[in-house]
Chains A and B, each alone.
Chain A
Amino acid sequence: QKEVEQNSGPLSVPEGAIASLNCTYSDRGSQSFFWYRQYSGKSPELIMFIYSNGDKEDGRFTAQLNKASQYVSLLIRDSQPSDSATYLCAVNPPGGSYIPTFGRGTSLIVHP
């Protein structure tokens, strides 16, 4: 059973702080990892993907992957109230399948 685990939150951070969102997965051979943002009442939208160990930065967002420990994280620097949303972690399994397993998401609240 493939599992992707996230703390449901809510994670509350002040504006300007760093928000750290974490995700663990059970399938050791997983290859690709995605972070989706979902605003209330809207559909998920991709914000980052990562497939190599280490860090990947895109603007205020940094994805971190540690395959040995089977976790992936998303850091949001200089958090803004507009970052308040649910963040879904998705993991592609090994074997060339492009069908991800989604976590249930972490709710982030950035307060002014």
Chain B
Amino acid sequence: DAGVIQSPRHEVTEMGQEVTLRCKPISGHDYLFWYRQTMMRGLELLIYFNNNVPIDDSGMPEDRFSAKMPNASFSTLKIQPSEPRDSAVYFCASSPTSGISTDTQYFGPGTRLTVL
């Protein structure tokens, strides 16, 4: 398996523009997570899906952020309008559900977002 795939790997945009980040989870994984990582705040969970359904979006910082998972193999995280403080590395991760609490998460390579 190719692992979790994210695109783009780098994104530079100007304040006010719309940004869309994409993720393809590992086939067969039921959970999909979106994280944001910064030096100041570390790794923050933004939202996660189970079987394509959003379960908890309490980590989404503002209404400017939205996420969708139209099918089991694709998810998007959208920021509209973007702001400089959104600059961070955004990770997508997926996880199987074998029913044990030691299920681990597999992270994608991340998207480094810079908002000027």
Contact = CB atoms under 8 A, between A and B. Distances in A.
Given A43-B91, A43-B110, A46-B104, 16 more contacts: A42-B109, A43-B107, A43-B109, A44-B91, A46-B105, A49-B104, A51-B102, A88-B43, A98-B31, A98-B95, A99-B45, A99-B56, A100-B105, A102-B42, A102-B43, A104-B43
Interface string B25-48: 000000101000000011101001
Contacts of A62: none
Interface of A: 31-32, 34, 42-46, 49, 51, 88, 92, 96, 98-100, 102-105
B103 interface: yes
Interface of B: 31, 33, 41-43, 45, 48, 56, 91, 95, 97, 101-110
11 contacts: A32-B102, A42-B109, A43-B91, A43-B109, A43-B110, A49-B102, A88-B43, A96-B101, A98-B95, A104-B41, A105-B42
